Amino acid sequence: MPVSDIAASDIVETVPSALIVLDRNLNITSANRAFYQTFRTSTAETEGCHIYALGNRQWDIPALRTLLESVIPHRASVEGFEVEHDFPTIGRRTMLVNARKIFRPGDHDGFILLAIEDVSEERAARKESNRNWLLTKSIVDTIRDPMVVLENDMTIVTANKAFLTIFGSTEAETHGRRVSELGQHQWDVPALRHLMEKVLPENKPIENFEIEDDFPSLGRRVFNLNARKISQPGNHAHRMLLVFEDITGRKQRERDAQTLTNEISHRIKNNLQIVIGLIAYEIKHTLPVCIPGLKAMQARIGAIAQLYDVISQSSRGRTVAVDSYLQEIAKTMSESLLGKQSGIGITVKAEPLEIDPDRAVPFGLLVNELTTNAIKHAFPDGTGHIVLSLEQIGDEIELVIADDGIGMRDKIVAKIPEKRGSDYVAIFVRQLGGTITTASSEGTGTIIKVRLPLLLAPSGGAEPLAA
């Protein structure tokens, strides 16, 4: 059925807005079903009644009087006229009134059609939202870190006082602009833009995105950027909170500490180079029988020096990551003892465990001695495989150095002088408070297991335990 065939009265009865028709004297000539339902009244009580007299004069509202007596006479229609009033029957309400003059042919006085929409809930929600926003803004303003709130389209809704003060900007200069457009485009970093684009649609926060740059009137600064999606209950719109943490001081302290560490490490290794040089000088003038011992001493001093590098590269704050520590030891030993053409391979299988730096050196030297012994004596034909493994077993840590070489019996017969190395192993094991067992037979390789008390903490766990 075409829309034109539908009776106007049917349409009037089905629209959700309350409709009433007034004559020139403001008497109600008719009203629709929505009006009666909204204002809990009836046809008998309504039709013919003067608008102001309706329902114990609850429509005698100054704002409505203004509309009907001062505005309508001069205009054909009025839209969005808001009336807030305490209605005796339905309580306090906010009504949005649209008014239109209607003329019938031959009738010069005309009628007034009033469409009344109850927008109380919407207005209350808006007020609540504004209240929350003001509260949020006042909290945000008290936070010392600069921060901005962004809309879906990445434009700034608000910047807190710290942001405006620190970056020397005004609300007008920031509002509605993108972060990448601010200042001298310091924040216009492709990687940051990419991350920011994911915060709202994917609810993916930005964690500690570091930017170092020269800022006008601030100088060289390092900022950590963190971003989160923020939502308001009952509101489908989402915004992004972007916080700028100035970590320049902390970064400088870290750099100073790193420079100092590097300087000390540099001096230690240069001094160890002098010690190795002194031993080299002795080697030139000593009896041939003493030379292997002195060279072994040089190698151990070299191992200690290399461990400093390994520890600094495997360090996670106050602890050393044993898994990457073992990897580094294996890599260093492969480079220094085996070389690229070697047929001997070293594999590491280690659980993610951590060790306190005090024990890292004896631990590293223990691994160094045992692995060196395997490299030197297990593979007379120059091919084989060594596996370094580390796992937590109950209250203990088990370090295993396993090779698939000729076995211990042949090794002991062939290399008696190496007993000195075994002595060092015993000392390191005692220093770490552990025990050592060896399983080996001719042709089946050697497996050395070192059990250490739980001086290692699981990765990301508690502080390392003291032995």
Partner 1 sequence: MAVILVVEDDVFIREIAEVMIQDWGHEILSASDVSEALLHLRSSHQIDALFTDIYLKTDVHGGCDLAQQAIALRPRLRVLYTTANCVTDKLQALFANGTQFLRKPYTEDQLKDSLDHMLAA
Rule CB under 8 A: choose which of 57, 253, 295, 316 binds partner 1.
295
| Residue whose C-alpha is closest to residue 71's, from 13, 17, 109, 112 | 112
Among 21, 63, 211, 272, which residue sits at the site for partner 1 (rule: CB under 8 A)? 272
* Element spanning 151, H or E: none
Q: How far is the CB of 378 from partner 1 (least distance, A)?
A: 21
Report if residue 286 touches partner 1, rule: CB under 8 A: no
Which of 21, 218, 301, 454 binds partner 1 (CB under 8 A)? It is 301
**Does residue 260 belong to the site contacting partner 1 (CB under 8 A)?**
no
Side-by-side strand order, sheet with 456-458: 315-316, 319-321, 353-355, 456-458
Environment class of 157 (CB within 10 Å of its CB; exposed 0-12, middle 13-18, buried 19+): middle
Min CB(270)–partner 1 separation in Å: 5
According to CB under 8 A, which residues from 364 to 423 bind partner 1?
A: none
CB-nearer residue toward partner 1: 76 or 278: 278
Question: Considering only residues 41, 98, 169, 265, which one is a binding residue for partner 1 as defined by CB under 8 A?
Answer: 265
**Interaction pattern, residues 304-323, with partner 1; x per rule: CB under 8 A:** -xx-xx--xx----------
Q: Is 50 helix (H, G, I), strand (E, B) or coil?
A: strand
CA distance 219 to 190: 22
431 neighbors 412 (Cβ within 8 angstroms): no
Identified binder of partner 1 from the candidate list 43, 56, 270, 347, rule CB under 8 A: 270
Q: Does residue 262 bind partner 1 (CB under 8 A)?
A: yes
Contact flag: residue 298 with partner 1 (CB under 8 A) = yes
Name the helix (H) or strand (E) containing 344: strand 343-350
Both structure tokens of 177: 């602009």
Binding segment (CB under 8 A) for partner 1, from list 67-75, 273-281, 415-423, 442-450: 273-281
Return d(Cα 166, Cα 359) in angstroms, integer.
Answer: 45
Measured on CA atoms in the order 321, 322, 328, 331, is the torsion positive or negative?
Answer: negative
Burial classification of residue 251, based on how many CB atoms lie within 10 Å of its CB (0-12 exposed, 13-18 middle, 19 or more buried): middle
275 binds partner 1 (CB under 8 A): yes
- Give, as one character, the DSSP assignment of residue 4: G
122 or 210: CB nearest partner 1: 210
CB 261 to partner 1: min, Å: 9
Positions in the binding site for partner 1 (CB under 8 A): 262, 265-270, 272-278, 280-281, 283-284, 295, 298-299, 301-302, 305-306, 308-309, 312-313, 336
